[in-house]
């Protein structure tokens, strides 16, 4: 749904800040890296750590925090969709228990005892995170290259 100015909210909140950064002299390769890593970290199958991890990664690599966190937040719904996929693939590919995803059960067990939760689900979570890491490399490289190319073209067309 468009706002009063006729601009789609997604364009206004995501694309416009990136274009603004380009007009202010930001390098397309750095913005592409911020967007790519922001998106990939936003999908990590450990709920609740993507913002903190994102701040750390963006700081270490001196990436644009606005772009990084904007994309990180944008992919949050996809993180919830992919979370059970990473859990199941971790068990199937790496062996061991294949966990059925039940957010209410996980929340209740986490609230009851964090040490017991980590003891019960730590290995499953580690396997899911390993699958996410592999998928991030496979998806991240072409995503970064595509974004870098697209942003470089956009920068050339800016006034």
The per-residue pLDDT for range 77-108, each reduced to its tens digit, is 999 999 889 988 998 888 877 777 788 888 89
The candidate with the shortest Cα–Cα distance to 66, out of 105, 113, 31, 41, is 31
- What is the reported pTM? 0.84
Other CB atoms within a 10 A radius of the CB of residue 18 amount to 22
Instruction: Tell which wins on pLDDT, 144 or 1.
Output: 144
Residue whose structure tokens are 């996929």 = 85
Q: Where do the domains of the chain lie?
A: 9-157
Q: Decide if pLDDT at 6 tops 90.
A: no
Contacts of 51 (CB under 8 A, 6+ apart): 69, 72
What percent of the chain lies above the pLDDT cut of 70?
91
The overall average pLDDT reported for the chain is: 88
Mean pLDDT on 68-84:
92
Spatial distance between the Cα atoms of 57 and 52, rounded to a whole number of angstroms? 9
Spatial distance between the Cα atoms of 151 and 156, rounded to a whole number of angstroms? 9
Q: Is 86 exposed, middle or buried (0-12, 13-18, 19+ CB in 10 A)?
A: buried
């Amino acid at each position: 749904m468009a706002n009063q100015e006729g601009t789609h909210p997604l364009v206004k909140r995501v694309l416009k800040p990136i274009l603004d950064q380009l007009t202010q002299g930001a390098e397309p390769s750095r913005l592409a890296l911020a967007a790519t890593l922001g998106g990939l970290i936003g999908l990590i199958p450990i709920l609740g750590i993507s913002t903190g991890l994102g701040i750390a990664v963006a700081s270490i690599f001196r990436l644009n925090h606005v772009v990084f966190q904007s994309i990180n937040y944008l992919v949050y719904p996809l993180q919830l969709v992919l979370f059970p996929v990473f859990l199941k693939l971790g068990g199937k590919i790496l062996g061991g228990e294949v966990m059925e995803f039940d957010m209410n059960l996980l929340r209740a067990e986490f609230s009851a005892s964090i040490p017991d939760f980590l003891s019960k689900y730590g290995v499953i979570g580690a396997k899911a995170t390993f699958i996410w890491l592999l998928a991030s490399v496979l998806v991240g490289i072409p995503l970064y290259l595509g974004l870098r190319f697209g942003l470089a073209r956009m920068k050339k067309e800016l006034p």
